[in-house]
Amino acid sequence: MNRHSEASVLAAHAALKCHEAMAKLHRYIDEELTLHELEHMQAHLDECRNCWNELRMARGLRDLLRRSCTEKAPDELRSRVTDRIATLRRELATPTP
C-alpha cells in the first residue's frame, strides 16, 4: 500500500460525520479547534458540499450581525456574559463521572 492509500484509509476511519462537523462549526469559525480537530474538519468540508454551504451561511450571518450591531453592550452585561461563557467552558472541559 503506498503512502497516499494509507493516508486515505486513515482519513476514512477518522472522517467526521455531518452532525459532528455541524456541532463544531462555530468553534471552527472562531478558530477554537485543536489542530487534530481542525484537520478533520477541513478534510470534511473539502468533501461535503452541504457542510461547506452551512459554513458559508454561518459566516455570512456572523458578518451581517457584526455590521448591524454597532452599539456596545453595557459593561455589566458584557461581564455577566463573559463570566457565563467561562463557566460553561469549564463545565464542558470537566469530564462527568
Q: How far apart are CA 38 and CA 31, in angstroms?
A: 8
Residue where the block lists cell 497516499: 4
Enumerate the domain spans of the chain. Answer: 3-93
Rounded to two decimals, what is the model's pTM?
0.57
What is the pLDDT at residue 6? 52
According to DSSP, residue 31 is labeled T
C-alpha–C-alpha distance, residues 68 and 60, integer Å: 12
CA atoms lying within 13 Å on the CB side of residue 63: 6
pLDDT in tens, the chain (97 residues): 444 455 554 454 457 799 999 999 999 999 999 999 999 999 999 999 999 999 999 999 999 988 887 788 899 999 999 999 999 988 888 776 6
| Predicted pLDDT of residue 54 | 95
